[in-house]
């Protein structure tokens, strides 16, 4: 798990750090840098996979050094440093340092090092995806394809589940089915409408005589199904980033979605989850898990990250809900006047 990230000079993020949990919620006003942070993680992933990438510097600090430090729960470190003064130089050239050792490597040297494939932080960062989930995609009919995965918009769930059920990983299908039934107790099993090359998903509910198409279920159930399938598919991302995790959800489902994410992310060998929101009612669900909330703010054109715990420690308050404290401006992370 990535425990801490120090970021120096990426887009609006000039020089700040943030601590992460197995499931982290990132809050803040529009334009404060939440999406920039997720895009940063994906850009680092592209670099470590030797794919074309873009890591622009802050517009006011084009000639300054870029430095990124990742630390895991066992204090292992991965450091990337680019000292090019011309940020338009191609290709990007980062030097790498692992676990504070004296050896500094360029990327070609890093790829030859055994730690490139075995170092936990590199393994996580090479497998990052940003999801902007549309619950409707869980209920749509899908053509069958080889080696399916859940895509960034949530499509591919039917393809993945069919491949697990008909292939040699029915154990994963059973795990997805069981976890969904724990989330929605009325659901007993998942199945498919019979068709050779095109499949649509349905569920069997208790006390209902015939299966129900997933397309007819609530957005909360469909979102839960997508999240569970992302985590338990055969080749899940190591780091799952979700933009606006509450999109389209009824507020009564927020607690279940948060509980589901905490339960999955806190299991051994499960992906780490980072999600963004603007919804104070979702923030309310993090009572007793305040350490998992990070506040994004922008001051003088620069993004800063602060833990909610740090803000609460300096705040004299009663038992106000977390979302109310945020909405009222007591913990920061709200739009400035006139915005």
Q: What is the pLDDT of residues 74-133, one digit of tens each?
A: 999 999 998 665 545 555 678 999 987 778 899 999 999 988 889 999 999 999 999 999
3-class state of residue 235 by DSSP:
coil
Task: Return d(Cα 242, Cα 37) in angstroms, integer.
Answer: 12
Give the distance, in angstroms, between the CA of residue 283 and the centroid of all CA atoms in the same chain: 16
What residues form DSSP beta bridges with 6?
Answer: 17, 69
Q: What is the pLDDT of residues 324-334, one digit of tens each?
A: 888 888 888 88
What pLDDT shows up at residue 183?
84
Greater pLDDT, 328 or 203 = 203
Task: Return d(Cα 138, Cα 253) in angstroms, integer.
Answer: 17
Q: What is the pLDDT of residues 275-303, one digit of tens each?
A: 999 999 999 999 999 999 999 999 999 99
Greater pLDDT, 316 or 270 = 270
* Residue 317 pLDDT > 70: no
**Residue 170: pLDDT band by 50, 70, 90 thresholds?**
very high
Task: Return d(Cα 23, Cα 231) in angstroms, integer.
Answer: 13
What pLDDT shows up at residue 334?
81
Q: What is the pLDDT of residues 233-244, one digit of tens each?
A: 999 999 999 999
What pLDDT shows up at residue 115?
86
Q: What is the pLDDT of residues 121-167, one digit of tens each?
A: 999 999 999 999 999 999 899 998 999 999 999 999 999 999 999 99
Indicate the burial class of 4 (C-beta count within 10 angstroms; 0-12, 13-18, 19 or more). middle
Q: What does the CA dihedral 236, 237, 240, 246 come to, rounded to 10 degrees?
A: -30
Listed range (42-46, 235-239, 252-256, 315-319) with the worst mean pLDDT? 315-319
**Residue 338: pLDDT band by 50, 70, 90 thresholds?**
very low
Please enumerate in sequence order all residues whose Cβ is within 8 A of that of 248, keeping only pairs 6 or more positions apart, or say none: 135, 219, 223
- The predicted model scores a pTM of 0.91
Give yes or no for a contact between 157 and 225, defined as CB atoms under 8 angstroms apart: yes
Task: Return d(Cα 307, Cα 311) in angstroms, integer.
Answer: 7
């Amino acid at each position: 798990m990535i425990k801490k990230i120090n970021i120096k000079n990426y887009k609006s993020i000039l020089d700040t750090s943030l601590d992460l949990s197995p499931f982290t919620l990132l809050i803040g006003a529009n334009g404060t840098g939440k999406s920039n942070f997720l895009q940063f993680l994906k850009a680092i992933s592209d670099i470590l996979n030797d794919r074309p990438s873009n890591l622009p510097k802050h517009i006011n600090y084009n000639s300054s050094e870029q430095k990124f430090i990742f630390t895991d729960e066992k204090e292992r470190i991965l450091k990337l440093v680019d000292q090019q003064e011309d940020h338009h130089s191609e290709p990007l050239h980062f030097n790498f340092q692992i676990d504070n050792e004296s050896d500094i490597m360029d990327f070609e040297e890093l790829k030859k090092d055994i730690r490139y494939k075995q170092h936990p932080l590199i393994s996580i960062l090479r497998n990052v995806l940003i999801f902007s989930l549309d619950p409707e995609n869980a209920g749509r009919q899908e053509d069958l394809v080889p080696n399916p995965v859940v895509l960034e918009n949530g499509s591919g769930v039917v393809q993945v589940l069919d491949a697990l059920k008909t292939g040699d990983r029915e154990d994963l299908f059973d795990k997805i089915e069981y976890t969904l039934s724990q989330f929605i107790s009325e659901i007993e099993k998942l199945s498919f409408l019979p068709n050779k090359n095109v499949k649509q998903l349905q569920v069997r509910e208790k006390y209902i005589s015939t299966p129900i198409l997933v397309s007819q279920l609530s957005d909360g159930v469909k979102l839960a199904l997508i999240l569970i399938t992302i985590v338990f598919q055969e080749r899940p991302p190591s780091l799952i980033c979700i933009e606006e995790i509450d999109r389209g959800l009824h507020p009564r489902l927020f607690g279940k979605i948060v509980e589901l994410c905490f339960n999955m992310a806190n299991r051994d060998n499960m992906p780490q989850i980072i999600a963004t929101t603007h919804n104070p009612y979702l923030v309310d669900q993090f009572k007793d898990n305040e350490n998992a909330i990070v506040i994004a703010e922008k001051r003088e054109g620069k993004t800063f990250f602060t833990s909610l715990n740090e803000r609460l420690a300096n705040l004299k308050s009663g038992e106000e809900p977390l979302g109310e404290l945020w909405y009222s401006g007591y913990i920061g992370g709200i739009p400035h006047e006139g915005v």
